[in-house]
Amino acid sequence: MGAISMRLGEVLLGAVVNLNHPAHYFHRGWFQISVANLMVILLMIVVFILALFLPFPGRRVQ
Amino acid sequence: MSTVEHKQWSARVRESAEKNLPPEQLLPDEQPVYVHSWIYVFGVLTIAAFAVVLASGVWLSLEGPTWWHTSKIGLFVNSLHLWSVELFFFFMVIHLWGKFWMAAWRGNRSMTWVTGSIAFLASIGAAFTGYLSQQNFASQWIASEGKDGLNSAGVGAFFNVLNFGQMFMWHILLLPIVLGVLVVGHVLLVRKHGVVPPYPVEGQAAFDTGPEAVVDVGASSDDEGGAS
């Protein structure tokens, strides 16, 4: 039972992002970056913008 | 006979600590109203991720390489160490952007900015030596690629990336000490000078700066006012 649930966890996690291959690269002229790094940078920009504009929960007391 | 009183170093340190970091300032229960924003969360998120990095790193040190290479729990803790580092840098970069765009060195906070910047550089060194300590083909590739760049800068004589033992010691002893001291100093400086306020909106008065400009976030609704 334990082995089955362990195998199930591996399958479910592995299905989200399969990392078992050489890295993909974005390449335009002199500019080259791995897709993983590009995704992280874009995600940081999105989170930064959301942090500026999303309302913070709770009361704001002057 | 001289009447000048010579205090011991312990008394001088105590008096300096009491003057610069009184307990209510060191562990405050209230914050300036402008801290009520998500952008002010990323500093403490970075520290939270750093705590997981340290805890998982201590666990890996106690068990040893054979454990994290061969057991499932070891592999999990090794992965926990890696992914907490990823989050550490993710949060730290957003914290850096937020502080850069609000010019966080204003209001006599230059040393806060400098300690944060040096901590960022030390973190890069800690991550780099961590990748060199993986004992796999990736770490060999990184070491062989990195040695030429470091040698060209004259660093290779005392920081040899092909020397696994040296890189491992930098990773688990020297850089964690440096980073820990810098982070503690950085946080103490934030507590001393207060959280930096955003730039004032054009036509409005600037926020008060410094730790004295605080409001009680637990105040009753009678005290509630509009956003500044």
pLDDT of residue B11: 94
**Which sequence spans correspond to the domains of chain A?**
23-51
Q: Which among B33, B39, B94 has CB closest to A60? A: B33
pLDDT of residue A48: 97
Give the model's confidence band at B221: pLDDT under 50 very low, under 70 low, under 90 confident, else very high: very low
Please name the residue of chain A whose CA is at the shortest distance from the CA of residue B99: A48
The residue among B146 and B211 whose pLDDT is bigger is B146
pLDDT of residue A26: 94
The C-alpha of B41 sits at a distance from chain A's nearest C-alpha, in angstroms, of 9
Give the model's confidence band at B216: pLDDT under 50 very low, under 70 low, under 90 confident, else very high: very low
0.95 cut: is pTM over it?
Answer: no
CA angle B197, B202, B198 (to 5 degrees): 10
Chain A contacts in chain B segment 93-122 (CB below 8 A) = 93-94, 97-98
Contact A60, B33 (CB under 8 A): yes
The C-alpha of B21 sits at a distance from chain A's nearest C-alpha, in angstroms, of 25
d(CA B68, CA B18): 45
Is the pLDDT score of B22 beyond 60? yes
Phi and psi (nearest 5°) for B152?
Answer: -65, -25
Q: Which among B72, B90, B215 has CB closest to A44? A: B90
Chain A contacts in chain B segment 65-94 (CB below 8 A) = 72, 86, 90, 93-94
Span A1-26, pLDDT tens digits = 556 666 777 777 666 777 778 889 99
Span B42-63, pLDDT tens digits = 999 999 999 999 999 999 999 9
Span B148-199, pLDDT tens digits = 999 999 998 899 999 999 999 999 999 999 999 999 999 999 999 999 998 8
pLDDT of residue A45: 98
The C-alpha of A7 sits at a distance from chain B's nearest C-alpha, in angstroms, of 12
Question: A32 and chain B: CB distance < 8 Å anywhere?
Answer: no
pLDDT of residue B24: 87
Is the pLDDT score of B82 beyond 90? yes
pLDDT of residue B222: 40
